[in-house]
Chain A
Amino acid sequence: MECQYLDDVYELFLLGLLKPKEATEVKEHLERGCPYCKDHLREAAQSVYFLLSVAKGRKPPNSLKAEILRSLHRT
């Protein structure tokens, strides 16, 4: 597949921050089922998940859960 040159862009692609030309290249590889890009996107998702999960937890208001549950049957 020779897409090692894309190694540094998978996280930015996943975050929607890649320049259009690079984003198109990654997207085309994924659409062709490129296993290298798929594996590296999976790894990028782990990195990004880790960075996002470092954020400090905060309890939402108690009323929000009940509001969501009430809304389920209206969706």
Chain B
Amino acid sequence: MPHEPTAEQLLAGIAQHDGQALANLYDLTATNLYGLICEIVSDHNAAQNILKELFLRLWRDAKRIEAGGGSVIVWLTLDARAKAVDWQRGQNGLRTSAHSRLQALSKLMSWMPGRADMADIDKRRHLLEKLVHRLPKPQTHLLELAVLKGFTETEIAHQTEQPPGRIEHELRAGLRFLRHRLRAVMGTWSANI
């Protein structure tokens, strides 16, 4: 029985302007991406436009993304987050630069995780999710504000009426916790988890 094509095989097809490959990658990823976008933006029409633009950008940029050698699913996820954050921040009258910064970064060098890295994460997802639940609640809230809402440390400090230094310390501690647990789960660092 033939295997389903991987996301990277579909990306190779999209780079050759194969519409069916794009349709298949959409089927593979759209539910997760749309769920993420809807977590960030408050308007479903805007969320649909962001998802549509995402796949049209992929159609245009597939050759460059393929040449970068990273996971197309990570690229789609980061791109969707950046566009959604910019849309929501724009609605709130805040500076919007998440997408332009990500685009600039994507041209610097090949830093995107590869398909094998992401397969390892997906295999250990249940364990990682358990670990995230061990984060103290205030840090989880800060991570949501930064990662899903795109608020800077200064903006979070203003919103929560806490000193900026404390927000910086707590947010970075939360990210450090996650990073260390990820290393432990992925077997790249030994730690008592």
B179→A71 contact, CB < 8 A: no
How many Å lie between the Cα of A45 and that of B17 in the bound state? 28
The contact of A54 among B73, B81, B97, B129, by CB within 8 Å, is: B129
Is B64 an interface residue when CB atoms closer than 8 A count as contact? no
A43→B39 contact, CB < 8 A: no
Is B178 an interface residue when CB atoms closer than 8 A count as contact? yes
Is A2 an interface residue when CB atoms closer than 8 A count as contact? no
For the A-B complex, the count of residue pairs with Cβ-Cβ distances under 8 Å equals 146
Given the interface contacts A12-B146, A55-B36, does A46 sit within 8 Å of B121 by beta carbon? yes
By a beta-carbon cutoff of 8 Å, the part of chain A in contact with chain B is 7-9, 11-12, 14-17, 19, 27, 30-31, 33, 38, 41-61, 64-65, 67-69, 71-72, 75
By a beta-carbon cutoff of 8 Å, the part of chain B in contact with chain A is 19, 22-23, 26-27, 30-32, 34-36, 38-39, 48, 51-52, 55-56, 59-60, 73-74, 77-78, 81-82, 97-98, 101-102, 105, 108-113, 117-118, 121, 125, 128-129, 132, 143, 146-148, 150-153, 171-172, 175-176, 178-179, 182-183, 186
